[in-house]
Every structure is written in structure tokens, then in C-alpha cells.
Structure 1
Amino acid sequence: MTFTDDLGYTLNFDKKPKRIISLVPSITETLYDLNVEEFIVGVTKFCVHPVHFKHTKAIVGGTKTIKLEKIKELQPDIVFCNKEENTPEIVAQLQEFTQVYVTKISTIEDSKRMIANFGVLLNRRTEADLLNRKIDLKLEAFKTFIADFEIKKVAYFIWYNPWMVAANSTYINTLLSLNKFDNIYSNLEQYPEINPKRIRHDGDPEVLFFSSEPFPFKDKHAFEISEYTNRSSAVFVDGEMFSWFGSRLIKAFDYFKTVRNRIDQGSSF
């Protein structure tokens, strides 16, 4: 079997991979939902779903810093990575001794394609088709739900000191747009640093989203930036729902409904 990942790397297999390591939390969750738990031998410390993996799987470091020798000892047939989550240096180190599948996800279609490809690679086509059908049904229902909502201008913060936001060409931006949130930083790319003192000039958002990950924002951060805005309300959101691709989408759409309803009703979070 020959496969090409999202960065154009070619992978060749004589048989289905049976020793899997995932260096991406959302991929770990998706692999579990594809029913390949028995083949997963290693995950990162940030792979918190499913919960029992922290006790049953080898922890091979984080997403940016890995325990290379431990990974070698586990003798993986394949390691799953992501362009945003893992560094090019990590990918290069792993490619010296094993096959590495690197994903690049910025749209829902990208996410569905990843699930389908994993289904073929891991002989889980039926499970992959089922996951994607569930995503399609949830997506269509959400489009109907969101149709009559007005567009709101927003900023989505992911990091503090320096302040960083999600901008264009990101999965987060795709989901914001789906929710009819107009990202004031969509004219920028990826995850730029911004000057909070210029936020009114940048677009004066109606809603400031503070994600639960990768930085754990608190009330003090919302208060700090509020002095530079005219009308913004602060909303703390579950970063997993907005940034985890793969099977997490099945849960995300119901969460988005709750977020959108509370914002439009003026309810607190």
C-alpha cells in the first residue's frame, strides 16, 4: 500500500500498521473512535481523550518536545503528526527510522478527508464512513440552526504575552465563519501577534473569545484587554471544540449551538 500525506510525503506499507503513535491530541481521539485502540502504543501528555490512555499507553512527551529514544523503543509502524502541532524538526527526526503521516487541516472537508484516509490505511473504512456521515448530519442540522442568526464581529485569542489570535487559513477561523462570527483578524494569516491597544482600530469586535487552550485564560486577562475595547463582551470557550479536528466535530456542533444562543441572549459564561 502506498499513501501520500498532506505535505506530500510518500508512505509505503506491506501490511496494515499495527504499532501506532499519535503526537496530536485530536488525532488520538479520532483513532480511538475508529476502533484501533489496541494498536496504539504511544501518545503525548496532552492526549487527554480518552481519559484512560494516560494509564494504558506510553507517554512519549508533548507535541513540541518528544522523547525520541522512547519512541524508538516502542518500534512504531507509523507516527501521526500535524503541521501546526508538531515541528518540522520532530518530523525529520522520526522519518529517520519510521513512517510519518503529517496532516494539515484548515477546513471541515480536510478533516473528513483525513478520517477517510485513516479508514483506508488502518482497515477501518466502515468506522470512518460512519464518523463522516455523523459529521455531515450534524453539519446540515447546524447550518439550519445558524441560518437566521446575525453576523457578529469577533476576535479569538489563543495566547498571552504576547497576545496571539487565530487568523485566516486556520481550522479555528473556518469554524468561526461557520458560526457566523466575522473574525476581525481574518486579513492576517495563521496565529499572529497583535497589539491589544489597537483592537478598536483593528475592527472593534463585539465578542472576545478566550480559548481554554493552548493558553488557560482567566478573568484577569479579559479585564486587561477590556480597557481597549468599546463594546466587547468576553466569552471563555472550550478550545477543544474550536480547534480539535477529526471526530471531535460530532460533539462540537451541539456546543456551538449553546455558545451562539448564550451570546445572542446576553447570558454569562
Structure 2
Amino acid sequence: MQLADQLGTQHTFKKTPLRIVSLVPSQTELLYDLGLEEHIVGITKFCMHPFHLKALKTIVGGTKTIKFDKIKALQPDIIICNKEENTKEIVEELSQICPVWVTDILTIEDNLQMIHDFGQLFNKRTESRKWIDKINFAYQDFQQFIKDKPVKKAAYFIWANPHMVAGNDTFINELLQLNHFENIYTSKEERYPEVELKKIRLEGDPDYVFLSSEPFPFKDEHAFEIGRFTHHAKTVFVDGEMFSWYGSRLLKAFDYFKLLHSKI
């Protein structure tokens, strides 16, 4: 079996990989939802869904702080990484252990391609097809829901001190656009640029300021601090998993987005 990952790297497998280490939380959830729980042998400390996996699987570090010896001891057949979550250096070192499959998710189409690829890779073609069909149905339904809603300007914060936002070429920006939110920071060169709060009105004067639940745990005091520099913007705490987790989580995100629109 010869397959290419989303970076175009060609991989050859003599048989279906049975021992999987996943270094991306959202992809761990997808593997579980494809019926691969028994084949997952290692996960990160940030792999929260489903929660019981943390008690049953070996924790091999974080997404960027990997314990290579632990991974090697698990004797994996494949390691699942992501271009954004795991560094090139980590991928190169892990490649000394076994094949490393790297995903690269910027769009909903990329996400569907990943699900298709996992179906091929792990001989879960029927399961992956079902997930793709469910997501496509929900996606089309949401497009009908959102089509007449006006476009509003927004800023999506992922970190405080320094303040960082989601910029262009990110899965978050893809989902903001889907929700008819124009990201005021897409002109920045960086994908997750640092920004100055005092310039927020000059740089776009958003209608909404979204404070994500991850990776930084925003609190009321952060909302008040940012609010001092906005004019009419409404500050909204949002579930970061729904905006940034690709994989099977996207199916739940569409219902979450409908609820969000009913509240703002």
C-alpha cells in the first residue's frame, strides 16, 4: 500500500498499521471515532476526547514536547502528526522510529481529505465515508442557515500577554469566514500574529471580539482589558475546540455555531 500524506510525502506500508501514536488531540478523537481505539497506543497530555483514553493509553508528552524514548518503547507502526501542531524537527526525529504521517488542515476540504486518508490508511473506508457524508450534510445545512446573515467584522484572540490572534491561512479563519465573520487580521503576514490592543480600532474596529477557551484560558479580566480599547465591539467567550479542532469534531461545531448565532 502506497499513500501520500498532506505534505506530499510518499509512504509505503506492507500491511495496515496497527500500533498508532497520535500527537494531535483532534486527530486522536477522529481515530477513536473511526473505531481505532484498540490500535491507539500513545497520545499527548492534551488529548482530552474521549476522556477515558488518558487512563488507558501511554502519555508521550505534549504536542511540542515529545518524549521520544517513550514513543520508541511503544514500537509504533505509524505516528500521526500535524504541520502546525508538531515541529519539522520533531517529525524528522520521529521518522527514525517509524513512518510519520503529517496532516495539514487549513480548509474544510483539507479536513475531509484527512478523514478519507485515514480510512485508506487504517482500512476504515466504510467508517470514514460515513463521517464524510455526515459532515457534508451538516455543512450544507449550515450554509443554508448562514446564507442570509450579514457579514460582521471580528477579531479572534488565542493568547494574552502578549496578545495573539488567529490570522490568515488558519483553520480558525476558515470557520470564521463560514460564519460570516470577516477577520480583521488577515492582512498580517504571520498566521498567529501578536497585536497591540491600542491599535485594534485602527486595524479594523471589529463588531465582535472572540476570546477562545484554548490554548489560553481567557477570563473576565481579559475581556475587560481588551474591551477598554474597542468601541462598539461585543466580547464573546467561545469554545476553542469548535473553531480549531478539525476531524470529527467539525460535525458538532455546526450545531455549536447555530447556537452561537442565536446568542450574539
Which bracket does the TM-score occupy, shorter chain normalised?
over 0.9
- Matches for 1:75-90 after TM superposition, within 5 Å: 75-90=75-90
SS at match of 2:129: helix
Separation in 2 of the partners of 1:69 and 1:161? 34
Could you tell me which amino acid in structure 2 is paired with residue 17 of structure 1? P
**Which residue in 2 is equivalent to 1:146?**
146
- TM-score calculated relative to the size of structure 2: 0.98
- Matches for 1:25-44 after TM superposition, within 5 Å: 25-44=25-44
Q: CA RMSD in A?
A: 0.7
SS at match of 1:130: helix
After superposition, the C-alpha distances for 1:89-145 in whole angstroms (9 at most, x for unaligned) are: 111110012100011100000000000010001000000000000001101110111
Following superposition, the deviation at residue 73 of structure 1 comes to 0.1
- Matches for 1:159-178 after TM superposition, within 5 Å: 159-178=159-178
Could you tell me which amino acid in structure 2 is paired with residue 71 of structure 1? I
**Which residue in 1 is equivalent to 2:186?**
186
Could you tell me which amino acid in structure 1 is paired with residue 57 of structure 2? K
Separation in 2 of the partners of 1:96 and 1:9? 15
2:210 maps to 1:209 = yes
SS at match of 2:210: strand
Following superposition, the deviation at residue 177 of structure 1 comes to 0.3
Separation in 2 of the partners of 1:257 and 1:186? 24
Could you tell me which amino acid in structure 2 is paired with residue 162 of structure 1? P
Please list every run of at least 4 consecutive aligned residues from structure 1 whose deviation after the TM superposition is greater than 6 angstroms. none
**Which residue in 2 is equivalent to 1:112?**
112
Following superposition, the deviation at residue 8 of structure 1 comes to 2.2
SS at match of 1:201: coil
**Which residue in 2 is equivalent to 1:267?**
none
Q: Which runs of 5+ in 1 are unaligned?
A: 264-269
Separation in 1 of the partners of 2:141 and 2:180? 15
Identity %: 60
SS at match of 1:187: coil
Separation in 1 of the partners of 2:74 and 2:3? 23
Could you tell me which amino acid in structure 2 is paired with residue 233 of structure 1? K
SS at match of 1:16: coil
SS at match of 1:113: helix
More displaced 10-residue stretch of structure 1: 104-113 or 141-150: 141-150
SS at match of 1:148: coil
SS at match of 1:90: helix
**Which residue in 1 is equivalent to 2:236?**
235
Separation in 2 of the partners of 1:219 and 1:124? 44
More displaced 10-residue stretch of structure 1: 29-38 or 184-193: 184-193
Could you tell me which amino acid in structure 2 is paired with residue 103 of structure 1? T
After superposition, the C-alpha distances for 1:160-195 in whole angstroms (9 at most, x for unaligned) are: 111110011000000000000011011124111111
Separation in 2 of the partners of 1:197 and 1:107? 31
- Matches for 1:47-126 after TM superposition, within 5 Å: 47-126=47-126
**Which residue in 2 is equivalent to 1:157?**
157
2:198 maps to 1:197 = yes
For these two proteins, the number of residue pairs brought into alignment is 263
Separation in 2 of the partners of 1:194 and 1:53? 37
Separation in 1 of the partners of 2:55 and 2:65? 20
Q: Which runs of 5+ in 2 are unaligned?
A: none
**Which residue in 2 is equivalent to 1:226?**
227
Separation in 1 of the partners of 2:261 and 2:228? 24
**Which residue in 2 is equivalent to 1:248?**
249
Separation in 1 of the partners of 2:26 and 2:91? 18
SS at match of 2:201: helix
After superposition, the C-alpha distances for 1:62-113 in whole angstroms (9 at most, x for unaligned) are: 0010111000000000000011111111111100121000111000000000
After superposition, the C-alpha distances for 1:226-253 in whole angstroms (9 at most, x for unaligned) are: 1111111110000000000010011000
Separation in 1 of the partners of 2:157 and 2:196? 12
Following superposition, the deviation at residue 18 of structure 1 comes to 0.3
Separation in 2 of the partners of 1:191 and 1:171? 11
